[in-house]
Amino acid sequence: MPGSTKKIDYKREFKEVYSARKNPAIIDVPPLSYLALDGEGGPYSEAYRDAVSALFAISYKAKFLVRGDTGVDYGVMPLETLWHTDGADTGKGSWRWSAMIMQPEPVDEDVLGRARDTVLAKGEHPAAGGAARRELAEGTAAQVLYVGPYEEEDPVIDALHAFILDSGARSAGTHHEIYLNSPDRTAPERLRTIIRQPVRR
């Protein structure tokens, strides 16, 4: 029917990827497509916050373009970040990151290009110019749900790595966090984060 809208819940479509429990588990993550920006610094650095704002601006514009072009409507996916360090320096200022938002199948290169150009034209998110599509195929991974302030997640990360070793696997990839709610609208003790670590057996 012309003008009709089809709503798709991609969190439900990829339930195993975007939900977790407080007990660690090993899952298989399918290849996924992301809009991503790379940078350096801690999670409260200006560069990281600018990147996150740009990614959401492009992702929301892409969502509206898809709805207008195809009648498919969906919720923008949560923010995700790959965190790693180079060498022995583990201070937050030396952290390297790839901030990402998963883009569902209807968001092709044309849609992303139009969305990025529109955001850049407004001049509010200059970091948007560096945003690009990226494919990620993590495969087998261990993950756990952490509820609480980001600054207090280290014991949960340690427990996840102990679980990996106890399972006869080894870490083989970049530390991955998925932020299921926003720190701007959620009390620290209620923040929900999926912590994921790709593994190999």
Q: What are the structural domains of the chain?
A: 6-200 (3.20.80.10)
In the chain, the N- to C-terminal Cα span, in Å, equals 50
Tell me what pLDDT residue 70 has: 95
Name the packing angle between helices 109-122 and 46-70 (round to 10°).
Answer: 120
2-29 tens-digit pLDDT: 467 899 999 999 999 999 999 999 999 9
The most distant pair of C-alpha atoms in the chain lies apart, rounded to whole Å, by 59
Q: Are 173 and 129 in contact (CB under 8 A)?
A: no
The pLDDT assigned to 82 comes to 98
Q: What is the C-alpha to C-alpha distance for residues 48 and 150, in angstroms, rounded to an integer?
A: 15
50 with 105: CB under 8 angstroms? no
What pTM value is reported for the model?
0.94
pLDDT value at residue 94? 76
Structure tokens at 142: 């261990």
The amino acid sitting at 7 is K
pLDDT at 1: 43
Pairing of the two strands 79-84 and 96-102: antiparallel
Q: Write out the chain's pLDDT in tens, 201 residues.
A: 446 789 999 999 999 999 999 999 999 999 999 999 999 999 999 999 999 999 999 999 999 999 999 999 999 999 999 999 876 555 666 799 999 999 999 999 999 999 999 999 999 999 999 999 999 999 999 999 999 999 999 999 999 999 999 999 999 999 999 999 999 999 999 999 999 999 998
Q: What pLDDT was estimated at residue 4? A: 78
CB 129 within 8 A of CB 67: no
